Structure 1
Amino acid sequence: MITKSQSLLVVSLSALLAVGLSACSTEKPGNATPVQTQPGGTSVSASTAPEDVFGKLKACDLLEPTSTAKGFDPPAEETYESDNGCGTRKYGYGSVTLYLVPEAGIDQLSAGQGTKIPTKVGERDAVEIPGDAGKQACTVAIAVTPTARMTASTGLNKGTNEEACALSREIATAAEPKLPKGN
């Protein structure tokens, strides 16, 4: 036998469900963005988001050849500095990372605890930052465009900033020819 309070509960729940479902919409929120058509029939979005200069290039593809040859663990994707990063470690030795950063050039890179030293990697402008994360650490950043960079960073368990910089330079030098030509 259903009591009056149970009936009331069923009716109340049904009403809440109906109200909740009627609040749902299949429309997407936001404003419509017009698409302009260029001569020749191609369309261009009016979006202001910059195009990723790295395209389909993946950080792990650039880091893996150098890190594997040196006995590091298989590299894994990470997203600390950008959505296109990769890192690996070697037990008892240290860790290395490589990031492709499409929205910030070498001028926007923080020196952390170190000092930026202008340099070149191949024909590209670069900076080396010994001690950026303290002792036994170094980052080498290569300018791809004025607003995009690649960074190779090393943190050692033992050693010096110069030893860390030597490995970061080696990784950066190996990756540089595979980077897109900037403007």
Structure 2
Amino acid sequence: MVYKLSDQLDHIGNTQYIFETYKEYLNTNRNKFPTSVLDILASERWFGGSGSTAPYYCELDNFEIIDFGKESARLILTLIKKDHRDYKEKPFRLRLIYQGLLELNIPHQKDISINPFMWRYDEFLFFDPWSSYGHNERMFTHNIEWVGKNVWSITAKQIVATWEDL
């Protein structure tokens, strides 16, 4: 179930309802998420308006997959938020490392080499394919919606986020 991407936020008069529902989903399912996801969601750096250190309206700077096809596979996204003339903020670089990469779904996009990817919305969902067998590995899916409504879906076991001022 997807809670806070543009299909909901852009078409519902009460966007606060979507965020409250998503927050309730996260609280109800806390025990199903890896600690690394809960740490990011609790971070003051992750949430906030576009003038904060949150990833919203960051530009994708680099995309790297390491150990593809192995259990140690990981994805690294490097994002940059540049100084914006409409509000005061310090530029920064955000690096997201998805460890134990299980699945990556990136839909086809025309002109990928000339159109920048700007982060718009995101959501974390728990991923528990083996729960019916009594095994909870605490994995997650991170859906990232870029400006233009392209949604990437990343399923992994852990995530690490690091910020660097520019």
Which bracket does the TM-score occupy, shorter chain normalised? under 0.3
Larger radius of gyration: 1
Q: Greater RCO between the two (CA within 8 Å, min separation 6)?
A: 2
**Greater share of strand:** 2
